[in-house]
């Protein structure tokens, strides 16, 4: 059994193109870190595993979505 599980702490959620993006905030060794989870028609993925600002998490999540959209078109 995990003594202190790490539950998601979603601080922001938005739709970008056909993707639902959720920004998670947590702490690692006293440092606030962010991750971005993306849900879409085929499933879900961790688009951004770890960055140090919310803005960077949003920016990289959008890049991840843009790349998947471009791959699907062509």
* Residues 36-62: tens digit of each pLDDT: 999 999 899 999 999 999 999 999 999
Closest CA to 10 of 32, 28, 37, 30: 37
Distance between start and end Cα atoms, the chain = 46
**pLDDT tier, 4 (very low <50, low <70, confident <90, very high otherwise):** low
Output the pLDDT for position 34. Answer: 98
**pLDDT tier, 74 (very low <50, low <70, confident <90, very high otherwise):** very low
Closest CA to 18 of 66, 71, 73: 66
Q: Is residue 1 part of a domain?
A: no
Token duo for residue 49: 């595993």
Residues 6 or more apart in contact with residue 53 via CB below 8 angstroms: 34
Output the pLDDT for position 25. Answer: 97
Give how many domains the chain has, as a whole number: 1
User: For the CA atoms of 47, 6, 42, 34, what is the dihedral angle to 10 degrees?
Assistant: -20
Share of the chain above pLDDT 70, in %: 89
Q: Is residue 2 part of a domain?
A: no
The boundaries of the domain holding residue 26 are 10-73
Q: Is residue 34 part of a domain?
A: yes
């Amino acid at each position: 059994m995990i003594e202190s599980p790490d539950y998601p702490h979603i601080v922001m959620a938005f739709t970008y193109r056909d993707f639902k993006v959720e920004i998670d905030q947590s702490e690692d060794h006293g440092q606030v870190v962010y991750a971005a989870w993306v849900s879409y028609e085929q499933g879900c993925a961790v688009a951004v595993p770890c960055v140090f600002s919310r803005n960077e998490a949003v920016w990289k999540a959008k890049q991840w979505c843009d790349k998947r959209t471009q791959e699907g078109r062509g």
